[in-house]
Every structure is written in structure tokens, then in C-alpha cells.
Amino acid sequence: MRRHEDQVEELGLEIVVVTFEARERAEEYVRETGLRWPLLIDRRRVLYGAYGMGRGRWSAIWGPATWRAYIRLIGRGQRLRRPTGDIHQLGGDVLVDPAGRVALHHVGKGPADRPSVAALFDRVRQGQRYSR
């Protein structure tokens, strides 16, 4: 998403990143990645639970899609690190419109199961067309 910051700004989006990691690990992540968006720490995983993001199956976490995603990251020059947290915790993407309605709710089946940035932007643009 960070490679698309111009579009994020153009669409007037506000992004919030949520993690269940400890504060020290979250701060390390912000330093390492240069994250500029707010990072919320949900140690008890209340938001995760509210949006149905439970635990993933071993086959989904370590399946072919995950390995392909890791190979793509390595191809982009990113260094992979040993996981420090609960690798079975599912994540996802949630778009909330200005009225507080959920416009998109995607719970990943594993680390590689995410909607494309283009699909997220398309959903935002669709919502903007209908709200005017």
C-alpha cells in the first residue's frame, strides 16, 4: 500500500494498521519500515475477533500461495525474517466509509490471501460514486 501513497492521498483515505504484537515489536516494525500511518496495538485481539479474524489452518499458512508471496518479496529485494508472533493469527482488510459503514470486509485465509491494492481502490471509487 505504501507504494501507492499518492493514490491514497488523492482518494482522501485514512489508513490505520492494526497488530497484536507487543509494543516493542510494533515500534521496531515502524522503525524498520518507515510506517507513517497510525499503528494500533490490539494485544487481546478484540478487533480481530470483531471482524472474524481467527486462526488459520496450517495448510493455508504454509501453502503454495504463501511460498509464492515470499518468493515475490525476495525478488523485490526484501529480506525475510523469522516470525516473532502468532503465525496462525489471520489478518485481513476492512474498508469503513465516512458514515461508519463497512464497505469491504475481507478475512484472509493465510498470509498471501489479500485483495489487490487496485481492488481496494476500485471499491473506494465505487463508494464515492454512490455517496455523491
Q: Are 85 and 110 in contact (CB under 8 A)?
A: no
pTM of the model: 0.75
CATH of segment(s) 2-131: 3.40.30
Mean of all residue pLDDT scores within the chain: 86
What pLDDT sits at residue 21?
A: 94
Q: Are 80 and 14 in contact (CB under 8 A)?
A: no
Q: How far apart are CA 82 and CA 58, in angstroms?
A: 17
What pLDDT sits at residue 20?
A: 95
Confidence band, pLDDT 50/70/90 cuts, at residue 112? confident
DSSP track, 108-119: -SSTT----HHH
What pLDDT sits at residue 129?
A: 58
Mean pLDDT to the nearest integer, 65-87:
81
Confidence band, pLDDT 50/70/90 cuts, at residue 49? very high
User: How many other CB atoms sit within 10 Å of the CB of residue 20?
Assistant: 20
Residue 50 has pLDDT above 90, yes or no: yes
Q: Which long-range contacts (CB under 8 A, 24 or more apart) does 112-120 make?
A: 112/63, 112/65, 112/66, 112/68, 112/69, 113/60, 113/65, 117/1, 117/4, 120/93, 120/95
